[in-house]
Structure 1
Amino acid sequence: MSASHSVKEAPYYFVPGESPHPVRTAVTLLAMGVGAATWINGVAFGKWILLVGLAGLIASLWVWFADAIRESEGGLNSRRVDVSYRWGMSWFIFSEVMFFAGFFGALWYVRTVTTPTLGDLDHRLFLWPDFVAVWPNLGPAGVVEEFQTVGPFWLPTINTALLLTSGLTLTISHHALRASHRAKAIFWLAATVLLGFIFVGVQTYEYIHAYADLNLKFNSGAFGSLFYMLTGFHGFHVLLGATMLTVILVRLMRGHFTATHHFGFEGAAWYWHFVDVVWLGLYLFVYWF
């Protein structure tokens, strides 16, 4: 994903030959979907189909990106290829913004529209007289088990500090690479990766605490569902981003990238900063308000 060397740079736009990677990746994704659907519906072997599909996806992406890296390091990626990578990553991040916007929108709607509506005079008189329009709540019928919410102190605040610090260390690493200080770039990128995986560990501990001690589960009404969907998907994105940065770290250690051509680094950095911004929204609207 980077045009590290310009020795054999293509004069206009490099077009790779026919590749089986897209078809292989599509098949593995189909296997994962079928496996997940059958497993959820009680089919015992569904989980094995899911695991086989996941293993196939990892292997397919490994080979696919290895080919892309060889093309880049071989000087085949021109300026126009670099621009296409930037546009592709930009649209990918935009799609992720819309993905999280849907869940934030659901949180806003349930909290500011649905809850007050269910607590108005008509609903209290004729449907749910015992319902109290506060957020979060146990539902209009009282079928949700009592639970406690996760406050901002201390685990979410610690994770906020971790992510904000990781954004700083990543920026330092980027500036070091642009200044051709490879050792410094490697050090600060390694610190970023470490902070990212620590974040995932802290969030795992938070989930255990919420489930065991606070009785906060996925079926704890709208709050429980939205809490785990928002924080869970964000945690997955952190794990994915930390994995991407780990690959970039290995490439840096192998001598890939130059001060002027390093979009592989930049693309992963864009993604990481996006994850940081999403967490700030979560920290405010899920844990504080």
Structure 2
Amino acid sequence: MGNPSWPGQQPPGGYGPPPGTPWNPGGPPAGPPPGMPGGPYGPPPVPPRKRGPGLVIGLIAAGVVVLAVAVIGIVALTKNDDDGGGGGGGAAVELRTGEIAGGAQAVPGSDGSLAMARPGVERPLVEIFEDFACDHCGTFDKMHDPMLKELAVAGRAKVVFRPMVVFGTSQRPAYDNSVRAAAAQRCLGDGARWLAYQDALYAHQPATLDTPGFRVEDLVSYAAPLGITGADFRTCVTSQRYARSVLDVSRGYVASGLQGTPSVRLDGTWLTSDRTSSADALRAAIESAG
């Protein structure tokens, strides 16, 4: 059901903790990821903390129109088809700026985010908070992604994608799906390929929140069409190297005021659903800020 007391922020239409509830998704998923041999993976779980009630599922607004717009082509500035930017032996992934056809750059951040803008463009700053297991985030991406790329290429906005985990451990398998996908996304160090891999994750979203998905072997396979087939990338994904970091980043986003996904923050202000209900509405909000 919806949560009417999310003033000034992205209201129901996604997933998030109820107001006043400490958000703590716990540690990385227990046990091996689906499709992998038995045994734990990644770092040990974070010691459990006191958690409030489960997440509240919001209602997505009716009448959403999914715009069929041609996706802007993406090419890499630097090519290394053998490793795809994954670090070996637990090393941090090398971050490389990619170029979006038309002149904008795709710059990955050390926190797992990806900034998309023409050089020198800093405002309007559009931040997209997303969870790859959140079906509303998939709908949001289909609706807005072509428009956001268009504005970034035109130099009319800086767009930052911020993947996170919004589900708690009591929301399995959605929680496990979310952690695996977000941790795998972090293994993409090449900015242009980061964007292409994000598209692949949304294209392969589990059918429902109760559907186990994003098997690590599948997460590896999604990168193969992008030319990323190296052992370093595979190790990064299957070991879930960034699972703990993803959860830490997610806690920081919630501490900054986020209360659900998908959410949009425009120049520091959380947008309400009427300003994100269509690509035209969000475009108007962004252009009015510029």
Q: TM-score range by the shorter chain?
A: under 0.3
Q: TM-score under structure 2 normalisation?
A: 0.24
Q: TM-score under structure 1 normalisation?
A: 0.24
Of structures 1 and 2, the one with the larger relative CO (CA 8 A, separation 6+) is 2
More strand by share: 2
More helix by share: 1
